[in-house]
Structure 1
């Protein structure tokens, strides 16, 4: 598939320069142009990083991405299918995860807030300049927007040029996917087709899973299709199953996530549910959920980085920070989920399966 890997985080620099240019227009009293600049900056940032739309990818150089896909058919007729996945690309280092991890969420929140408020204040300056003409209000608005600009400047230093080793995020999940494919090549389910995928381009805006969802949309909608995605595996006590994705704007299967938690508990693991919220990012479960799959993602990383140490998106994301127990737990949970779903579908009449 064709992707534009530099586009996803490329907005960090692009938006910042639009912001600075808009600020200059404000100082030159071109209030309308400045407000339009703040609007454009918000549209680009929200489309690229908040909603993962990739609307402005065309501004960056295209490259080829590669998903690795393997399919194992069941012993008997196919009544359902389960997609098991990880992703094999690694992220750029997030500088603030290395330098100020305890303040990471605050810094991300301040960037998002500065973008939204700059849009509001920019248009308030326009309204005041052409209708109310209050000098005091103008001074207050200008001071606020300059302070917002200081917070916004953090975007210029958010990403370093270093690519992380990506052991926990997310090569371990791709390795587990390959191991599970090997296991089930010898122990095929009765009625469940297994599709094993290692996605490319997750860190540049879910590009591999989007390409897969587009190519396999008809296959996904043809029968009950589950998606068990894995991402960022570090410690077994941190296992969570996602009920939402893409910064909270895409719903995953709450019921499937609960089933996975129940299975994890039955195997002695302290798994919980987790809902994404703005600033937490996205996983490859989202595009497949949007294509009709019953999807969730298993994660096992700190979600409260101000309280817990994390190597996520840093140069320390190496194998020694992946506890062997989390690998064993993930394999055990996944095996049991496949076994459970195959037994569940066994007694389901075909007429119900086709209309499920």
Structure 2
């Protein structure tokens, strides 16, 4: 019999998250062409459920179908009490207990955490919701820097497209690489995506408080390419090194060196995404001096090398005829 996957659809569900399991798992077939998975949908109370894109769906089942499922999957949601307060209906919490395998895509991890299924376990979710998740569920070992986490009977993925990666991983785990690769080709997607989620995360600096070092911060941004030591920064601000360091941390939440390094990494990312400058040139413009230094700082910040980052985010310009 095909492995049955029950997808639990909640109010304000993410449309792509709902479509991914039905598409990917249905393309997994045995060598003789027989389906390996059956995907069914359900909702608490078997009621129509509205999505964030402005339409509703009517799942075929209520939560009782979970009793026949080999895997239970929670798509992400874009609102509602599960994101706001970290709570789910009592009937859903009870229905999720004791299942052989549970999976979440994106913010579906909020529902698993609200059911207590992630307590003390590693998990991931969409990076934009990571801070809220950690606030609501401090007992979960959240890692927002990966595409998915396989913790045996509980698997979680990052946002949107990472759900594709997780579904293929499950097929690969259940039936091997050959089956997963065929499913990937059917879906016209890579069978394996290198790198973690870190390279996609926007990392804004903490907002500055006060303006005692504001002029110097502006000067630093205009001179990222130049060597900027602490003495030079303090002299520009007209302060002693000790006073400048203290005021800078009070106003930005970071040391001058940490703030400068993050600004240089962000500038290097911008250049890699928007220009054709070589890696050595990007390193000089961003103030890292050498490609080796840039590679070390970028890998520490986002987990990939400069060329891999550019390959992900910058499309080559077409050659003119």
TM-score, normalisation: structure 2: 0.27
TM-score, normalisation: structure 1: 0.25
Higher helix share goes to which structure? 1
User: RCO higher in 1 or 2 (8 Å CA, sep ≥ 6)?
Assistant: 1
